[in-house]
């Protein structure tokens, strides 16, 4: 019975994918629909894959994580064994494999919850933003978003080694051997609406402790119909409309003005 249900699910899933593919080829806006669903389902994995080269876990971190997992599982085993013994007859013994199964189930539930939240978040974001404008010419736009994320990730690595301060110039990422020159040359340029390759605009004055909604890297020109790319201090990167872009820049200018006034006041004291 279970194998029959699984076969039906696989069959209808394959039919669904084939229909989507045919829509992308022959139906007007079919490519847009297919691209929308593809980026909704695979966007998180694509971002994770692009971030892997910048993840540099140390041996001490891996060992500490492994020790934490082992101790947590052992503590859970002891707790469940005592609880089961108090509720059952004296001969009953809680098996370690049951604890491992429970831990695996909890991890699966956690992953499912994160995936569900991520899908809901992206679906809401795409519904609120101009999804048609975002996916029209999506190749350059998503390449720009990926490059901006990689730059911010490199800046985060720099700040972790410099007391939370970002570099004064993006070229310092190469001097610190965080990025090689070839990679830096590729990701330090965005593709504008007219296909021109122009440098990113790095907004100085922030640290990794500054508010996360402030812009850190912005596109120097629109990438679509009044659409701009903004990379924020919380490492998020998105495409915003012109009015939202102006609001974000206003917040940055206000913050920097307040920060300068605060420094001036402290200096005068």
Name the residue range of residue 93's domain.
36-51+60-128
Q: d(Cα 100, Cα 137) in Å, to the nearest integer?
A: 47
> Average pLDDT over the chain, rounded to whole?
78
Tell me whether strands 227-232 and 215-218 are parallel, antiparallel or unpaired.
antiparallel
Domain edge (last residue) among 128, 148, 163? 128
Q: Are residues 261 and 212 in the same domain?
A: yes
Q: Are residues 118 and 230 in the same domain?
A: no
Q: Are residues 157 and 241 in the same domain?
A: yes
Q: Are residues 186 and 229 in the same domain?
A: yes
**HSE toward the beta carbon, residue 66, CA cutoff 13 A:** 7
Chain segment 22-32, per-residue pLDDT in tens: 666 665 555 55
Is residue 144 situated within a structural domain?
yes
- CA distances to 70, 84, 94, 125 from 98, in Å: 15, 12, 7, 40
**How far from chain centre, in Å, is Cα 208?**
17
**How far from chain centre, in Å, is Cα 159?**
19
Chain segment 152-175, per-residue pLDDT in tens: 999 999 999 999 999 999 999 999
Chain segment 57-85, per-residue pLDDT in tens: 677 877 887 888 888 888 888 888 887 77
Name the domain count of the chain.
2
Domain edge (last residue) among 103, 128, 153? 128
**How far from chain centre, in Å, is Cα 156?**
14
Chain segment 176-190, per-residue pLDDT in tens: 999 999 889 989 989
Task: Return the beta strands (E) in the chain as ranges.
Answer: 189-191, 197-199, 201-202, 215-218, 227-232, 237-241
Tell me whether strands 189-191 and 215-218 are parallel, antiparallel or unpaired.
unpaired
């Amino acid at each position: 019975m279970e194998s029959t249900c699984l076969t039906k699910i696989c069959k209808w899933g394959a039919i669904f994918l084939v229909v989507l593919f045919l829509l992308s080829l022959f139906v007007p806006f079919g490519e847009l629909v297919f691209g929308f669903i593809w980026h909704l389902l695979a966007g998180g994995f694509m971002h994770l894959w692009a971030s892997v080269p910048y993840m540099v876990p140390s041996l001490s971190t891996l060992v500490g994580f492994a020790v934490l997992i082992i101790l947590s599982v052992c503590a859970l085993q002891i707790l469940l064994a005592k609880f089961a013994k108090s509720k059952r007859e004296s001969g009953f013994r809680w098996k370690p494999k049951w604890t491992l199964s429970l831990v695996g189930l909890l991890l699966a539930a956690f992953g499912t919850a994160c995936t569900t939240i991520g899908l809901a978040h992206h679906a809401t974001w795409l519904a609120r933003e101009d999804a048609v404008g975002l996916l029209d010419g999506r190749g350059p736009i998503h390449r720009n978003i990926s490059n901006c994320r990689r730059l911010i990730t490199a800046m985060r690595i720099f700040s972790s080694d410099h007391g939370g301060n970002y570099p004064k110039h993006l070229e310092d990422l190469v001097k610190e051997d965080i990025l090689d020159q070839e990679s830096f040359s590729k990701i330090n340029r965005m593709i504008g609406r007219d296909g021109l390759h122009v440098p990113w605009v790095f907004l100085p004055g922030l640290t990794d402790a500054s508010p996360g909604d402030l812009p850190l890297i912005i596109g120097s020109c629109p990438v679509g119909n009044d659409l701009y790319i903004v990379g924020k201090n919380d490492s998020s990167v998105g495409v915003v409309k012109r009015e939202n872009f102006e609001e974000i820049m206003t917040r940055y200018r206000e913050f920097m003005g307040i920060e300068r006034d605060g420094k001036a006041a402290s200096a005068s004291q």
